[in-house]
A and B are shown apart, each in its own frame.
Chain A
Amino acid sequence: MGKYILGRILRWIPSVFILLLLIYALVFFGAGDPIKLIFLRAPGDVAYDEARIDAIRESAGLNRPFFVQFGDYIGHIARGDFGNSLVSGRSVNEMLSAAVPVTLKLGLTAIFFLAIIGIVLGVVAALNQNKLLDNVIVGFALFIWGIPVFVAGPLIIVFMVLGLGMNVPFGWSGLFHPKVIIPLLVLGLNPMAIIIRQARAGVLEVLSEDYIRTARAKGLPRRIVVFRHILRPVMTPVVSQLGLIVIGTLNNSILIEKVFGLPGLGRLTESAIKDSDYPVILAIVLIFSIVVMASNLLVDISYPLMDPRAAAKKKGDE
């Protein structure tokens, strides 16, 4: 088991490294001169004074070869230093430490609640296969899978304000403030659709197994069959979607934070794009990729815990 986890982590590290290298190269060769980018906004004509630009570049070490600078950047990141924003001059760490908790809290809460609701709905749908309730739930899942969050969010706002005369849920005042409910709901809609479908398909598959028929035949109450025999094997396909769900939630949080004015990573991303603030963009990309890869790692690790056959199979693959 320990060897399996270690193997996964060892495979994960080079992927992160290559990703970093790619992104750094894209920005390094594509984005243009960072010194000019800084001083284009400064008063005076510094950006057009070649001699001064060269001097600054020399002193900042920006005329060194690509790989030396990349190594330097990696070194800084390893020490937890993401550099300074080109626009405000503030340290990126500071900006991140304000924004990351908001997105993290929102995302984790959304995933947690919608996983529970999704699994319950999926199991209920499967147990009532092809009846009205099943059709309603499957239709609902298709419906919420179809609507993008940046469409659902505004439509809900318009409906709440114009239709119901309620206040706009705008801004952030902590996770336990009631106005967080609407963004949470919208954020979780798409992932919930995935979970409903996976759970439903999982239950339907398990229902046809012999041991379920045996359990029913020996007179076990339906409730116990569902909780003891059906729920456990259904967890595996649901958890296998975690990586997809995390990516979806991250994408959606970028969009939803703009709609509801939440001061999280999404808003930071948007302003960083507008200002071409490369250190911030690099840091955000890095954080997002690490979160996604870590959740994939978590899935890989939790597979053998839930289903010991998976570990044996994986070992056979490699």
Chain B
Amino acid sequence: MATKERKYSLTKDAFNRLIANKLAMIGLIVVALLILIALIGPFITPYDFLSQDLMSRNQPPTSLHWFGTDDLGRDVLSRVIYGARTAVLVAFSVTILSFIIGTVLGSLAGYLGGKFDSFVSWLIDITMSIPSLLLVIVINVSLKPTLVNWMDAQFMATHDEFWRNTIWVDFAIVFGSLALIKWPKAARIIRGQILSIRNKNYVMAAKAIGVPTSRILTAYVIPNAIGPIIVSFSATLGEAMVLESSFSFLGVGVRPPIPSWGNMISDGLRVWQLYPHVLAAPALVLAIATIAFSFLGDGLNDALNPRQWK
């Protein structure tokens, strides 16, 4: 007699829990839309994000300009879409970069233990105790002039137009300093996972009966560690996006004319009494995006770590 065997795998279980969570699904859809918009941005923007139309400045939303125009007559919708590109680019690069650093240091600390572990833990504690905005400010005011001077010198030597483009310096500094802020969290989670799994009885048993390390890693360590890592990865995406906006808001992140939601909010703050749409458009979009990330992260947490919060 053939009984139908139902398989409950870890991923399928987690997936079902995620699907059942309405808030998380809303978050997932919004995040997916955001990434899609960022990818196809240039093809759907109604105007160029830089083109100024001084005849139609500060227009409220119309059928021509859905989100209105700003004080230089630039289309706000196009700038918001390009802002999404900036946000997604920064969020993903920073998160991947900090997880690479965090994985290397965290897993080495977890495996090696001893002096190296206490050194990494101390480094994590110190980095986490510096307010992130200040760290970025210090990096910005100290490294940027040096980098820009160096690029000037390169331009003088080679006359290559590449060195005139300081936008990449902005992005490089945002990537680097955000990764510097975010790696300790990744490292701490990965180290904790490895420490806790390494000492589990089933791992020791597997080791004792001679299971090769590669098989232990793929069969036991990774499936058990992956949940918290995915949760933290998605949380870091959202946080990096917010941090990039707040740096740009303060003028130490992505600078105009490259649109970032942060520097658009900062621009909007100057004229909001007369033209509130210039402020409201990027602020609302950023609010929706961050809330979506927060819903998604919480849903992932519930789905992948069912023992928590219960």
Interface of A toward B, CB cutoff 8 Å = 15, 18-19, 23, 26-27, 29-32, 139, 142-143, 145-148, 150-152, 154-155, 157-158, 161-162, 200-201, 204, 243, 247, 250-251, 254-255, 258-259, 269-270, 273-274, 276, 278, 281, 284-285, 288-289, 292-293, 296
Contact present for A285 and B138 (CB under 8 Å): yes
Interfacial residues of chain B within 114-165, with CB under 8 A of chain A in the complex:
125-126, 129-134, 137-143, 145-146, 149
Contact count A vs B, C-beta below 8 Å: 142
Given A155-B280, A285-B138: A273 in contact with B252 (beta carbons within 8 A): yes
B309 interface residue (CB < 8 Å to A) = yes
- Residue pairs across A and B with Cβ atoms less than 8 A apart, 21 shown, are A15-B125, A19-B130, A27-B138, A31-B146, A32-B145, A146-B238, A146-B287, A146-B290, A146-B293, A152-B287, A247-B132, A251-B131, A255-B246, A258-B250, A259-B269, A270-B250, A270-B251, A273-B252, A288-B134, A289-B130, A289-B134
Contact present for B294 and A154 (CB under 8 Å): no
Interfacial residues of chain B within 34-75, with CB under 8 A of chain A in the complex:
none
Most buried by A among B138, B149, B246: B138
Contact present for A154 and B283 (CB under 8 Å): yes
Contact present for B129 and A293 (CB under 8 Å): yes
Partner of B273, one of A148, A152, A161, A281: A161
Contact present for B251 and A273 (CB under 8 Å): yes
> How many angstroms from the CA of A140 to the CA of B102 in the assembled complex?
32
Contact present for B249 and A288 (CB under 8 Å): no
CB contacts (< 8 Å) of B130 on chain A: these are: 19, 288-289, 292
Interfacial residues of chain B within 263-310, with CB under 8 A of chain A in the complex:
265, 268-269, 272-273, 276, 279-280, 283-284, 286-287, 290-295, 298, 308-310
CB contacts (< 8 Å) of A247 on chain B: these are: 129, 131-132
Interface of B toward A, CB cutoff 8 Å = 23, 125-126, 129-134, 137-143, 145-146, 149, 238, 242, 245-246, 249-252, 262, 265, 268-269, 272-273, 276, 279-280, 283-284, 286-287, 290-295, 298, 308-310
CB contacts (< 8 Å) of B268 on chain A: these are: 154
Contact present for B283 and A281 (CB under 8 Å): no
Contact present for B309 and A31 (CB under 8 Å): no
Excluding A142-B294, A147-B290, A259-B269, 5 further A-B contacts by CB distance (< 8 Å) are A32-B145, A151-B283, A155-B280, A281-B137, A289-B134
The main secondary structure of chain A at its interface with chain B is helix
Partner of A31, one of B142, B286, B287: B142
Partner of A30, one of B142, B286, B308: B142
For residue B252, which residue of chain A has the nearest CB?
A: A273
Contact present for A147 and B287 (CB under 8 Å): yes
For residue B308, which residue of chain A has the nearest CB?
A: A201
Contact present for A289 and B265 (CB under 8 Å): no
Contact present for B310 and A204 (CB under 8 Å): yes
- How distant is B297 from chain A, measured CB to nearest CB, in Å? 9
Contact present for A269 and B137 (CB under 8 Å): yes
Given A30-B145, A251-B131, A273-B251: A154 in contact with B279 (beta carbons within 8 A): yes
A-B residue pairs, 8 tightest by C-beta = A30-B142, A146-B294, A146-B291, A26-B142, A146-B290, A151-B283, A250-B131, A251-B133
Contact present for A255 and B141 (CB under 8 Å): no
> How many angstroms from the CA of A285 to the CA of B149 in the assembled complex?
25
> How many angstroms from the CA of A276 to the CA of B145 in the assembled complex?
10
Contact present for B309 and A273 (CB under 8 Å): no
